[in-house]
Homo-oligomer: A and B are copies of this chain.
Amino acid sequence: MRKIHDVILAHEEDRGETFLGSLWGKNPVFLCAIGTTETAKIPGISAAGRYPDLTDYTPPADVELLLLGRCKCIPGVPVTPEGIPTPALITMSALRLADIPALVVSGGLNVNPHVPFLDLGGAPGRDIREGRAVDNVEEVLGRARIVGENLAKIADYLVVGESIPGGTTTALGVMLAMGVDAGGKVSSSMPDNPHELKIETVKAGMKVSGVEFGSLAENPVEAVSCVGDPMVPAFAGVTLGAAREVPVLMAGGTQIGAVLAVVEALDRDVLCNVAIGTTRWIVSDKTADLKGIIAQIADVPILAADLDFSQSRLEGLRAYEAGVVKEGVGAGGAAIAAMAKSEGAITKEILLGEIERNYELLVGSQ
Contacts and interface: CB of A to CB of B under 8 A. Distances in A.
A154 B99 CA distance: 10
Contacts of A147: 116
Contacts of A105: 116
A265 interface: no
Q: Chain A at the B interface: mostly helix, strand, loop or mixed?
A: mixed
Interface residues of A, number: 30
B118 A116 contact: yes
Given A119-B119, A120-B116, A103 B150 contact: yes
Max count, chain B CB within 10 A of own CB: residue among A68, A114, A118, A147: A118
A131 to B, nearest CB: 27
A217 interface: no
A67 B27 CA distance: 24
A346 to B, nearest CB: 16
Contact of A119 (B68, B102, B116, B139): B116
Given A68-B146, A146-B68, A154 B101 contact: yes
A154 B119 contact: no
B27 A154 contact: yes
Interface string A98-110: 0111110100000
Interface in A86-127: 99-103, 105, 112, 114-121
Given A115-B143, A143-B115, A151 B120 contact: no
Contacts of A150: 67, 101-103
A117 B118 contact: yes
A155 interface: yes
Max count, chain B CB within 10 A of own CB: residue among A99, A112, A154: A154
A101 B116 CA distance: 18
Given A68-B146, A115-B146, 11 more contacts: A29-B154, A67-B146, A67-B150, A100-B153, A101-B150, A112-B119, A114-B121, A116-B119, A116-B143, A116-B146, A154-B154
Interface of A: 27, 29, 67-68, 99-103, 105, 112, 114-121, 139, 143-144, 146-147, 150-155
19 contacts: A27-B153, A29-B154, A67-B146, A99-B153, A101-B150, A101-B152, A102-B150, A103-B150, A105-B116, A112-B121, A114-B121, A114-B139, A115-B146, A116-B118, A116-B144, A116-B147, A118-B118, A154-B154, A154-B155
